[in-house]
Structure 1
Amino acid sequence: MCSTRPGALGPAVGAWVAEAIGPRARELGAELVPVSLADLELPFLDEEEHPSSGVYRQEHTRRWSELADAADGFIVVTPEYNYGMPATLKNALDYLGREWAWKPMGFVSYGNTSAGTRAVQHAKQVVTTLRLVPLGATVAIRIADATEQGRVLPDAARASAATGMLEELVRVAHALRPMRERARADSTPLISLPGAYVRQLTADDAPEVAVLQRCCWVDEALANDTLDLPTLRESVAEVREWLAAWRAWGLWRDGRLLGMVRARQTGADWHIGRLAVAPDLRGQGLGRRLLQLAEAAAGPEVRRFALSTGAASSGNLALYASEGYRTLSGAIDGVVSLAKDAQPILAAVGPAEVETVRPDPR
């Protein structure tokens, strides 16, 4: 809500918006977080550094940055002042930089003659410069027709328009997610695929992970003459469960999961598994780079990297051997365990400690 004027209609319009779209937001899994610029108490821009630097010295800027950064999209409730948006909205936009990039923005405007639509047109010129994506769907409220005694009157058509705007906001936010992630992803020198980036996987990625597993482990099933592989039978719920228990990384490009790897620590061992690259991208060294990325994530207390693969998975075995892994023992139930030292082991250990590792499910 943009108006900071005492007695403004903005809070009533904001309350109406929340009530109108709340049920549909819950169905879509979208969390609504009301923010009032009046409560933020932003002075006119008072940061020394340019917003694009992300260097904020003022507490009010850092607070505003955290709120905007956490959002996947915005609905702006704004009045129209003299054929334009209020200065408070322009000021709030000017405070930040990267927090806005590749996020959709919808508008609910209110005013007299034009129902606030000129404020929206004014704002769109600014938000596109900040790489925000304004929606086509808007809600315009003409004060004389739609309000009474400081509240917005119920109206089915207006509520339907607000719900439609929310649905468009969620769709566009989802479509722009790869752009947001690419803009924010840490540089990963190991990954040289143009346009690709690596980020940690979460439970929300379970459907994509399940699909990639089934694509990648068909070859393993054929090579090892078995369909009894967890990767081929796991449900999305089961994938979501192990994503919560492991650290996992995904290689993404344009919203597609291209590769992945997972790891977790057990004692002094760093278990690595589920190393996969989409079949159409194999042969480019991506699997090797994902393996190296997983190794680099191990803590200083880790003494050994451990993994397992099918006894007949010749390509996997060749990759691991080239990266310094050694076979620990013969195949057990068609699974070969491998390991390599993570760093020099200072304490003397017995042969049994060095040469045995419990196979982790592939």
Structure 2
Amino acid sequence: MPLTIPVILGSVRTDRIGNRAAQFLIAQLEARGHAAPLVDPAELKLPLLDRMYKEYPAGTAPEPLQRLADLFRGSDAFLVVTAEYNHGVPPALSNTLDHFLEEYFWRPSAICCYSAGQFGGVRAAMALRAMLAEMGMSSIPSLLPIPRLQKAIDSQGIPAEPWITTAANRFLDELEWHAEALRDRRQRGTPY
């Protein structure tokens, strides 16, 4: 049964390379029959967090927030693509995620991290994992770290190295399993 898994991109830098990983993962999810809409903070242009979506009176939230709330409520899981800024989570990613809370509950997340260097963004992924759990969308055990992303995946989202597709398949198998299990359980009710 098809799943809806938004791919949340974390960087807004002009010369960002994370969109390569996002394009690749969207293509992989769509090839499996899933909907994988891109959530791009560079396009959303959300303000710095002042009010969460839930703090707006009904019908008064800015249009991008309303659109995201609708998408997130209808989602089965979330795939977050994060860079590593100073060993941490990019501010644009944190800002995008922080606008919501209940919309994430009882849905799994998965982290694809990357860097231009050899560590593949894993230091940011560790901080992000704790953040996602606190928001109610605990991450699956596996990560998909991609070191030297600028060489590993081209600008069209095509991997230059075969290990990426192999690793992504295992990673997405795990995400699907968690998403299906939690979707089935949500349909029977949640603690609150």
Compute the TM-score of the two structures, normalised by the length of structure 1: 0.45
CA distance in 1, matches of 2:118, 2:19: 21
- Distance in 2 between the 1:175 and 1:54 partners? 32
Aligned residue in 2 for 1:129: 134
Q: Give the number of the structure whose residues are more often strand, by fraction.
A: 1
Identity of aligned residues (%): 25
Q: Cα–Cα, structure 1 residues 89 and 180, in superposed 2: closer, same or farther, change >3 Å?
A: farther
1:141 to 146, 165, 171: 146
CA deviation map 1:37-71 (0-9, x unaligned): 21111111132xx5566756331321221121121
Report how far residue 105 of structure 1 moved.
0.7
Contact 1:54 1:97 in 2 (8 A): no
| Kept in 2: contact 1:138–1:161 (CA 8 A) | no
SS where residue 164 of structure 1 aligns?
helix
**Alpha-carbon shift at residue 127 of structure 1 (Å):** 0.8
Q: How does 1:1-362 map to 2 (within 5 A)?
A: 1-23=9-31, 25-26=32-33, 30-47=34-51, 55=57, 57-59=60-62, 60-111=64-115, 112-143=117-148, 146-147=151-152, 150=155, 153-181=159-187, 182-183=189-190
- Give the deviation of 1:15 after TM superposition: 1.5
SS at match of 1:62: helix
Q: Output the amino acid matched with 1:167.
A: D
Residues 158 and 67 (structure 1 numbering): CA distance in 2 closer, same or farther, change over 3 Å?
same
Matched residue type, 2:160:
P
What's the CA shift for 1:155? Answer: 2.3
C-alpha separation in 2, matches of 1:145 and 1:4: 16
Cα distance in 2, alignment partners of residues 144 and 11 from structure 1: 10
Distance 2:95 2:183 in 1: 26
Question: Runs of at least 4 residues of structure 1 off by over 4 A?
Answer: 50-56, 148-152
| 1:73 Cα deviation from its structure 2 partner | 0.5
Rate the CA distance shift 1:16–1:178 in 2: closer, same or farther, 3 A: closer
Quick check: 1:65–1:96 contact (8 Å CA) kept in 2? yes
What SS class does the counterpart of residue 38 from structure 2 fall into? coil
Measured after TM superposition, the shift of residue 142 of structure 1 is 0.9
Deviation at 1:150, TM superposition (A): 4.8
What is the one-letter code of the residue matched to 1:71? S
Q: CA deviation at 1:35?
A: 2.1
Residues 124/32 of structure 1: CA separation in 2 closer, same or farther (3 Å cut): same
Q: Displacement, 1:119? A: 1.0
Q: Deviations over 1:182-213 (max 9, x none)?
A: 24xxxxxxxxxxx7xxxxxxxxxxxxxxxxxx
Q: Across the two proteins, how many residue pairs are aligned to each other?
A: 178
Contact 2:107 2:182 in 1 (8 A): yes
Max Rg structure: 1
Structure 1: gaps of 5 or more residues: 184-194, 196-362
Give the match for residue 312 of structure 1: none
Taking the aligned partners of 2:145 and 2:99, their CA distance within structure 1 comes to 26
Q: 1:44 to 1:164 in 2, by over 3 A?
A: same
- TM-score for both structures, normalised by structure 2: 0.81
